[in-house]
Amino acid sequence: MTTASMTVGLLHPGEMGVTVGATAAGGGARVLWASEGRSQETRFRALEAGLEDGGSLASVVRESRVVLSVVPPHGALDLARTVAALGFRGLYVDGNAVAPDTAREIGRVVETAGARFVDGGIIGPPARKRGTTRFYLSGPAAPEIAVLFNAGPMDAIVLDKPAGAASALKMAYAGWTKGSAALLAALRAFAMAEDVDSALLAEWKISQPDVPARSERAFTDNARKAWRFVGEMEEIARSLAAADLPAGFHEAAREIYERLSEYKDARTPPTVEEAARKLPGHR
């Protein structure tokens, strides 16, 4: 199966998903997406990336040999169930930030319906240029999907491991990057509440000079995306609990992002002080 012969259904072209689709399209695949019920912003992204509007989800599933699922983690399993119920028999790729057990459950859902399954995990920002973002893939059919990413801005890396491994890698990576950002946000909010924020920043500049800027980005870079991180923190906590490790770190991080989630539709990022005020007082 060559890339040029593939019709790929992308569900859905959000900020990250559209770069997945653009990479597949850049390699010669026909990439469809389902515009039914999607926002005008999503329509614009898909058009700009050169994706083909397949109309309804049922139509996209019927036309596609490969389905790429790139959605917020809380919707990953339900989307797999919907695609399975539509009779998909091709190759289903879950590229979502989910726990290994969730990924394996998604695999069981689509395989029971007659499809094959590839587990994926994306590390890095929405891909604009080569070398910034990696799509890790695991499971027996992973090499078949990797060929979709020979061109375009996103790299594919095959892990020679069973399905679930790519998701485990994503959980470990995001558990640090997004978990530590949530911790920094909480500590800045605490320091402000105790009126020692200036002293804390001064000490960090002496002893840990990279931390002041990281603590600011914990708010300014993440506030408008925090709603997406809520489910991701739940999946990381679930991953750790399944390995008999404490899950409380990321249960707390989930709460931090939940308290910032009202910035979802904000046109501009909040200031550190504005965002920090959202964290205390939710009992």
274: part of which helix (H) or strand (E)?
helix 272-276
Of 114, 139, 163, the position where a domain reaches its end is 163
User: What's the confidence (pLDDT) of residue 27?
Assistant: 87
CATH label of the domain that carries residue 136: 3.40.50.720
Of 163, 188, 214, the position where a domain reaches its end is 163
User: What's the confidence (pLDDT) of residue 128?
Assistant: 86
| Among the listed residues 66, 85, 68, 57, the one whose alpha carbon sits nearest the alpha carbon of residue 16 | 68
Q: Does residue 281 lie in a domain region?
A: no
Q: What is the CA radius of gyration of the chain?
A: 20
CATH label of the domain that carries residue 209: 1.10.1040
Does residue 90 sit in the same domain as residue 158? Answer: yes
Q: How far apart are CA 79 and CA 73, in angstroms?
A: 10
- Domain count within the chain: 2
User: What's the confidence (pLDDT) of residue 4?
Assistant: 58
Give the predicted TM-score (pTM) of the model.
0.94
Q: Does residue 142 lie in a domain region?
A: yes
Does residue 78 sit in the same domain as residue 47? Answer: yes
3-state secondary structure of 120: strand
Of 163, 186, 202, the position where a domain reaches its end is 163
Does residue 139 sit in the same domain as residue 181? Answer: no
Q: Does residue 45 lie in a domain region?
A: yes
Does residue 255 sit in the same domain as residue 272? Answer: yes
Does residue 147 sit in the same domain as residue 79? Answer: yes
Q: Does residue 222 lie in a domain region?
A: yes
Does residue 254 sit in the same domain as residue 146? Answer: no
3-state secondary structure of 9: strand
Q: How far apart are CA 57 and CA 277, in angstroms?
A: 41
Does residue 129 sit in the same domain as residue 224? Answer: no
User: What's the confidence (pLDDT) of residue 200?
Assistant: 98
Does residue 227 sit in the same domain as residue 94? Answer: no
Q: Which residues of the chain have pLDDT under 70?
A: 1-5, 282-283
Q: Does residue 63 lie in a domain region?
A: yes
* Domain housing 68: 3-163
User: What's the confidence (pLDDT) of residue 152?
Assistant: 76
Beta pairing class for 116-123 and 134-138: antiparallel
Q: Does residue 282 lie in a domain region?
A: no
